[in-house]
Structure 1
């Protein structure tokens, strides 16, 4: 999926305007509104999911986030079939977990160096690539979800050693981090870090220090759960009265206001909202065109952050 077309800060290789404008990801301009493939499920129908990915490209999306453990390779297979080299799409994947078919939780941790290498190889095969432009190392230092125990507690240096080796071998282009603390990011920065993926939204803003550090170091910040989450105890952006008021005033949806706030909040933020619904895809991309004036931004900035109240286990 290496681009054979040309792009500019204003348009993608396919000639579409970049939703939300552009920002750099590993030194490459990409649309600030991308797409996250986690919500693609076989129940939607393969042809419908492929059509959704093609529509995303038509709308100007040229940054797609995926993982082999999304649907045990289902999302990667769709991307392999739907995305063409001339689309100029930067595909980012991740390692640190693996599919767990039939388990109570559909994934398990895979943090050991040999598991990280195996994860990259699995992603290469299912995506049909010789090189993955960006691979995020998913740790478990912060955020909701699984916590490492036993042999899954692995030192960062050991993990970075295999990630940099894979980069030197040409199997990955750049290294990102996911679910990490600011301390972990600082330790990892000498290895060259292109982006950070952490849970972050208008109503869950514990990572302001992380966001500022990333901006200062030209590291992209790619928030997951940008509108909150279904995890128990996690607040939802769309339920905040200020968000609902802004949506009514601007004729937008609360979700669009929440996404637009993230784009206005820091210039290095890249969004990867996921959906399997074509109408939601259109609405997410349209959030990149939502203008928020100073008064509206002040009202939104004043929304309390409740992320510290979330039970992580």
Structure 2
């Protein structure tokens, strides 16, 4: 979800900049963004993707250049996975336009959603997404269980026909976890997307272990709790121990907590601010906290 607060400074000497300066060859693999495999195929994707709810919904003369910069920086820093939906205003249209204008469309792993009840409506919405985003659509997801059983058959057909590469489903509420668990256990899905954060870690109890057991890739939304974490931390200084896992801001603190769980394939924060984008992307570089450190992180947030 959309990043809602300033995240910190000290971003000049970034691993991604060192990698680009050195040519980003195989000898600099440790300086490239961390990647994880999609269990269904072994394909690697960078662990920090980009959402679009709230960020790309509107494009005006005031924010168009910022959105173009966000897209260019995202790819320059190693990002590929962009997640959107027909329900996010005009986000699909704007993402497609910006990706083509900036020349990066072919480098993107494009994920979108469908939220219709019938097969015909689903196919119409899918065709409309292609018109806006271009091809390929790498991942097609059922949005918030809408028309789930009808749509699932259609998504399986689209995958069988090679029109999409991966299929899955999404939700954004902890109250949906029981149904998510049932669907993850009963359907042969490639991806699942749900909310998970240092403030709402409930997915650690059942969903993340189940995804690992079932070989389902996980996309994480609401890692910032819709910006609530920035309100929680306020103007508090980042704890000194955060440097132990290469963390330089509260945004990275939140994202690295999520990425430390190896069942997470990628996290998808959204932003229309180029500085926030750079900050978010840094979470995909360097060390991640271990289990003891993650408990310390939870205690820090709880005690603020």
CA separation in 2, counterparts of 1:169 and 1:58?
33
CA offset at residue 61 of structure 1? 0.4
- Gapped regions of structure 2 (runs ≥ 5): 1-23
Indicate the RMSD between aligned Cα atoms, in angstroms: 3.2
User: Conserved in 1, the CA contact under 8 Å of 2:220 and 2:264?
Assistant: no
Aligned with residue 29 of structure 1, among 44, 53, 61: 44
CA separation in 2, counterparts of 1:272 and 1:80?
21
Matches within 5 A, 1:278-293: 278-293=274-289
Name 2:224's counterpart in structure 1. 227
Name 2:159's counterpart in structure 1. 167
Closer, same or farther in 2 for the Cα pair 1:293/1:135, shift >3 Å?
A: closer
Counterpart check, 1:297 vs 2:294: yes
CA offset at residue 274 of structure 1? 1.3
Counterpart check, 1:178 vs 2:179: no
Name 2:111's counterpart in structure 1. 92
TM-score by length of 2: 0.73
Name 1:239's counterpart in structure 2. 232
User: Conserved in 1, the CA contact under 8 Å of 2:99 and 2:105?
Assistant: no
Name 1:212's counterpart in structure 2. 209
Name 1:60's counterpart in structure 2. 78
Name 1:310's counterpart in structure 2. none
CA offset at residue 185 of structure 1? 4.9
User: Conserved in 2, the CA contact under 8 Å of 1:50 and 1:82?
Assistant: yes
User: Conserved in 2, the CA contact under 8 Å of 1:174 and 1:194?
Assistant: yes
Query: Deviations along 1:17-43, whole A, 9 cap, x unmatched?
Result: 542333326521010111123312313
Deviates more, 1:203-212 or 1:247-256: 247-256
Name 1:78's counterpart in structure 2. 98
Larger RCO, structures 1/2 (Cα 8 Å, 6+ apart): 2
Aligned with residue 132 of structure 1, among 128, 131, 137: 137
Deviates more, 1:157-166 or 1:46-55: 46-55
CA separation in 2, counterparts of 1:285 and 1:202?
18
User: Conserved in 1, the CA contact under 8 Å of 2:189 and 2:216?
Assistant: yes
CA separation in 2, counterparts of 1:266 and 1:219?
12
Closer, same or farther in 2 for the Cα pair 1:220/1:83, shift >3 Å?
A: farther
- Gapped regions of structure 1 (runs ≥ 5): 1-9, 97-109, 141-151, 306-313
Closer, same or farther in 2 for the Cα pair 1:30/1:16, shift >3 Å?
A: farther
Counterpart check, 1:123 vs 2:129: yes
User: Conserved in 2, the CA contact under 8 Å of 1:34 and 1:270?
Assistant: yes
CA separation in 1, counterparts of 2:83 and 2:208?
19
Deviates more, 1:262-271 or 1:197-206: 262-271
SS of 1:211's partner is: helix
